[in-house]
A and B are shown apart, each in its own frame.
Chain A
Amino acid sequence: MKLFVSEGNPHCLKVLAALEVTGVQCDVQYVNHEETVVPFLSRPALPAMFLPSGLYLFSANAICQYLFEVNGQESSELCSQWLEWEATDLQPALLLALHMAVLQGKGSQVSNVLQGPLNYLDQSLSKGNTPYLTGEAVSVADVVLWAALYPVLSDSSLALGERKSVKPWFDRVAAMHSCQSAVQKVLRGKGLQGMKSYMQRQPAPQSSQCRDTQPCNSNPAECEEGERVVSEEEMEAAVLTWSKDLNGGPLATERQHPILPQEGKRNILLTSALPYVNNVPHLGNIIGCVLSADVFSRYGRLRGWNLLFVCGTDEYGTATENKAREEGLTPQQICDKYHAIHSSIYKWFQIDFDFFGRTTTEKQTEIAQNIFWRLHKHEFLVEDTVEQLRCENCQRFLADRFVEGICPHCSYPEARGDQCDKCGRLINAVELREPQCKVCRQTPVIRSSKHLFLDLPKLETQLEQWLDKSTSTGDWTVNAKQITRSWLRDGLKPRCITRDLQWGTPVPHPDFKEKVFYVWFDAPIGYLSITANYTDKWEKWWKNPQQVELYNFMAKDNVPFHSVVFPCSLLGAQDNYTLVNHLVATEYLNYEDTKFSKSRGVGVFGDMAKDTGIPADVWRFYLLYVRPEGQDSAFSWADMALKNNSELLNNLGNFINRAGMFVTKFFEGCVPAMELQQEDKKLLALVGWELQQYIQLMDKVKIRDALKHILNISRHGNQYIQVNEPWKKIKGGDTERQRAGTVTGVSVNIACLLSVMLLPYMPTVSQTIRDQLNAPQSCINTMLQGTGTFVCTLRAGHRIGTVSPLFQKLEVDQIEALKKRFGGQQTTAQSAASAQPAAVPAPAAPAAEVATVNGVDPEKAKQLTQAVAEQGDKVRALKAQKAEKAVITAEVAKLLDLKKQLAVAEGKNPEPAPQKSKKK
């Protein structure tokens, strides 16, 4: 039996106190907060107990109960009741309270948060009239609750007030020697501050106001709870805002280049990771950096921030040289070719850069060499010899990607010289087993070569000071902080900045004439040089940390270079550089159930998206809907069709279209007069609340979560129309007609609000909506001011334009065809054959080639027949129950999918006649 605890973790106080009180013998091991002790949990969970049976306990309360039981004190019903209350009621409040007190310095507000649970505890104690919670003697409930409350009740600065029954009970438990000794072990006399590093690693708690964005499932019982209660004050406030005037200021969309920092404005410099030029970006690359950055920069401009969004292609390095060799071109030709491809893809996706440059420019050489000499002058560069692979046949040193071999960690046979594609570990090329020159397939030899290193250890203290400040004041995503911490924890080593290549920024030092800068020293400098190519006054952005806030967008694999390596270069150069304030990193987007792979050509690539016939805005919507925020996610064709049909078509599009159509059909195209009643006011408040959530989330770059609130608004709107039935009321008497007018007027104004909220996500659709409603552009910079300003933009009498549907249905057969066309199925066969990676996939393999992989399989056919029958029953049952259309559509899609698989298994033509399936 072994107990794992960490210092400063309040839950560990429970178990250590229980251990001392019961006197049970048990090994105790102190570990790091991040240490994974319980093998099956994704997040570190401490305390944890390893039981003799080989099972783990990861709940502090269960561990305490166990210790007491081993000691012969089984918990009573009352005891377990207190423990359940502690876990479900007290803990959420405590977590919030500790978060405020320890991390946010809002100790004064803690008493509000804890008032409810503390009063409950006080009343129960005074009613029970016993010295302890469950009677005359100390029980596990006393120990657990005391330990849970200790951090807040022992700190007098929190001013929680003395409750007449809680106080003596708390003091009584605290007086036990065992408890005092446990406190010393966990908090080390540091009180609340002793918990800081623990609290920093906890996910931020949700306050009671900030409800979960999405109920976890569609259980009807939970949906009832989902209905938000709106107070009178909220309604009044919403009505007041509604009647405000539009903001007459200059349009947010008008930009004057060059954009430079301005006094008194929020000046934001925004970069997205520079895509490697040597390949066509896939959907994962697009959502990971440029699209996310685009949404945020569009949003920022709407918020009235003075914002510059730069990006460009990263063109130097081995990968480009490799590619040039493969395609028989010079590196420069490759760069020109692919830079154009990148530009056109981003243009199609409507990525609105202020400037999209490239790294192979004179400014790059100038700035990179300047930083180099400054680092050299301040003695942050050290020289060392490196063992390197050299191909005698090709007469050159083989840098990272020029060599392939067997991964020393996982034995993957096609590992590259810098990293293994399979296990993801970084590799030193000389460690590869059976290395081969990628060009001539000869075995290279090991030779030594002289190189320059950036002395990261010497910069470590400076870096940590800066990181502490930046991560605590800026919006760094959790993964960005974690990855950075793990780099620092492992200790920094000098990092090589030179390479034996031709295609790169030349090292200006005479002793290293033949060498160029290592791409990761060089590439981030691209942000500076690209800005310099945009404006001569680039230093106003890059050497101006007082005025400028810098946001970096990237996928998580790029984090260490932006949080550790590049800041070290800039810190060492000592030239007042602007360092990153907000580091926003996504996780990975997978393709169906596999990975996108440039080198193996799996997945949808940027240039093919437009060939699908699906509009760019729908692509943007879906990619943002599944944005890998917080964890990996996957692109799935079936899911894309479902989201398009249910969210865009049936929810959002349906609402906006209906609102506009009512104006056109019932009111001759003029917005009717609105007399707000209680129900309308309530809706305004609900919509206002969603808008507020949207802004709060967007401000924190929670792009995917914010999108859900847009969809919530149209859901509210649909329900509102459904309940009020303006199409019936319009045929009634004057009061009824008046009511139809109000409902229509409010709805069409919500549609206008939606168009603004959608702008960052779907710019074209957003503009189309405003065109259809003939809405003034000034609504754009009004609605997103402050915490959200939902004003009545389309007043009574306003004439709207021609309304037409915004979205098209994605049919099952269309999606199936696309799914086939973009692979998935043939990857096994292809990857085996792809010794030479086909990085630019051929423009869509013919469908016939693909279908041959799935063979005839009678056994599978039998099982599928059964599955088809069951699914058929389910669909019929749903239809009989008159279930929601979206639900039925989804189930029908499943059915069709099964039928198709069945057809394949039976060896028939898998393409069903779409007409037939529709009639069913």
Chain B
Amino acid sequence: MALWELSSLEKYLGLKKPNKYSTQGDKKVPVLQNNNGPPLVGLVTLACHLVKEAKRLELLGDSAENRAVVQQWLEYRVTKLNNCTKDNIKTILKDLNLYLQDKVYLAENQFTLADILLYYGIQPIIVDLAIQEQEQYVNVTRWFDHIQHYPGIRRHLSPVVVLRNRIYSSRHH
């Protein structure tokens, strides 16, 4: 599943000639043959490579701190979000919801590669959420809606309808 993400990313970055990827192992880890050296392996590694190729370094974070934050969320994407169980989904949504409470993007105010790959990874989960759950994870939903409308990101993924009004009243006991 990682391959379409890479080609979507290529299109977003405006890279002219598409790369040819292969995969290795049961988990279908993407591989890119590299003329200048050994092949590159792994979704995060390849995605970062593409960003550098397109000279869009700001997508990797504009300071040492932000670069670390971006790397951390990229790792989160490939370790936590890939092959997660149903139980983990709720934890992930809950944690992200809390994290995004006071942030526009994963690296605070800067749109980065972490947003793109997390969006690709979380899209199938968000598609399945009931409206009520969308409201429960309102910050994730808001962030998600924002990213899916970011020009050139969504590609073939089906848009998720996000209601702007709350339809479930929030009750307190």
A-side interface residues toward B, CB under 8 Å? 39-43, 51-53, 55, 57-59, 61-63, 65-66, 69-70, 77-78, 80-81, 83-85, 87-88, 91, 127-128, 212-214, 216-219, 221-222, 225, 421-422, 593-595, 597, 600, 630-631, 636, 638, 827-828, 831, 860, 863-864, 867, 870-871, 874, 894, 901
Contacts and interface: CB of A to CB of B under 8 A. Distances in A.
Contacts of A597: 173
A189 B28 CA distance: 40
B173 A40 contact: no
B42 A216 contact: no
B65 A66 contact: yes
A631 B89 CA distance: 12
Contacts of B130: 638, 894
B15 interface: no
B33 to A, nearest CB: 14
Interface string B99-140: 101000000100000000000000011011011100010000
Given A69-B67, A831-B173, A867 B161 contact: yes
A863 B164 contact: yes
Contact of A63 (B68, B79, B108, B127): B68
B88 to A, nearest CB: 7
B12 to A, nearest CB: 20
Contact of A42 (B38, B89, B95): B95
Contacts of B99: 40
B13 interface: no
A214 B86 contact: yes
B48 A61 contact: no
B68 A57 contact: yes
B64 A70 contact: yes
Interface of B: 1, 27-29, 38, 40-45, 48-49, 52, 64-69, 71-72, 75-76, 78-79, 82-91, 94-95, 98-99, 101, 108, 124-125, 127-128, 130-132, 136, 161, 163-165, 167-168, 170-171, 173
A827 B171 contact: yes
A59 B44 contact: no
A878 to B, nearest CB: 11
B71 A631 contact: no
12 contacts: A39-B98, A40-B101, A57-B72, A59-B71, A65-B71, A70-B64, A78-B38, A80-B44, A84-B41, A85-B41, A216-B89, A222-B124
B68 A422 contact: no
A258 to B, nearest CB: 40
B168 to A, nearest CB: 6
Contact of A631 (B72, B83, B87): B87
Contacts, number: 148
Contact of B124 (A41, A65, A218): A218
Contacts of B49: 77
B161 A88 contact: no
B138 to A, nearest CB: 13
Interface centre among A61, A421, A422 (most CB of B within 10 A): A61
A46 to B, nearest CB: 14
A225 B25 CA distance: 12
A884 to B, nearest CB: 13
B75 A216 contact: no
Which 3 pairs, one residue from A and one from B, show the smallest C-beta to C-beta distance? A62-B72, A66-B68, A40-B98
A59 B69 CA distance: 9
Contacts of B1: 219, 221-222
Given A41-B95, A55-B108, A80-B71, 14 more contacts: A39-B98, A61-B75, A63-B68, A66-B64, A66-B65, A77-B52, A84-B41, A212-B85, A214-B86, A216-B89, A595-B173, A600-B173, A631-B91, A871-B161
A81 B41 contact: yes
A216 B95 contact: no
A595 B171 CA distance: 10
Q: Is the interface of B mostly helix, strand, loop or mixed?
A: helix
Given A216-B83, A216-B85, A631-B91, A593 B67 contact: no
Contact of B40 (A77, A222, A828): A77
Contact of B65 (A51, A88, A218, A871): A51
A631 B90 contact: yes
B45 A828 contact: no
B87 A867 contact: no
Contact of A593 (B42, B94, B128, B171): B171
Given A40-B98, A80-B48, A85-B42, A594 B108 contact: no
Contacts of A83: 71, 75
B168 A213 contact: no
B127 to A, nearest CB: 8
B161 A870 contact: yes
A77 to B, nearest CB: 6
Nearest to B94: A42
B79 to A, nearest CB: 5
A81 B40 contact: yes
A88 B85 contact: no
Contacts of B75: 59, 61-62, 83-84, 87
Contacts of B101: 40
Contacts of A52: 65
Contact of A62 (B71, B85, B136): B71
Contacts of A630: 87
A600 B136 CA distance: 23
A39 B103 CA distance: 14
Given A216-B85, A216-B86, A80 B45 contact: yes
Contacts of B132: 593, 636
A282 to B, nearest CB: 14
Given A57-B72, A81-B45, A597-B173, A87 B91 contact: no
Contacts of B65: 51-53, 55, 66
A134 to B, nearest CB: 11
Given A77-B45, A219-B1, A863 B163 contact: yes
Contact of A214 (B85, B94, B161): B85
A813 B1 CA distance: 40
Nearest to B89: A216
Contacts of A41: 95
A218 B78 contact: no
A836 B99 CA distance: 40
B68 A901 contact: no
A871 B167 CA distance: 15
Given A221-B1, A831-B173, A65 B125 contact: no
A213 B49 CA distance: 35
Contacts of B68: 51, 57, 62-63, 65-66, 69
A84 B88 CA distance: 21
A108 to B, nearest CB: 25
B78 A219 contact: no
A285 B101 CA distance: 34
Contacts of B131: 894
Interface centre among A59, A61, A63, A221 (most CB of B within 10 A): A59
Interface centre among A52, A70, A88 (most CB of B within 10 A): A88
Contacts of A828: 171
A901 B167 contact: yes
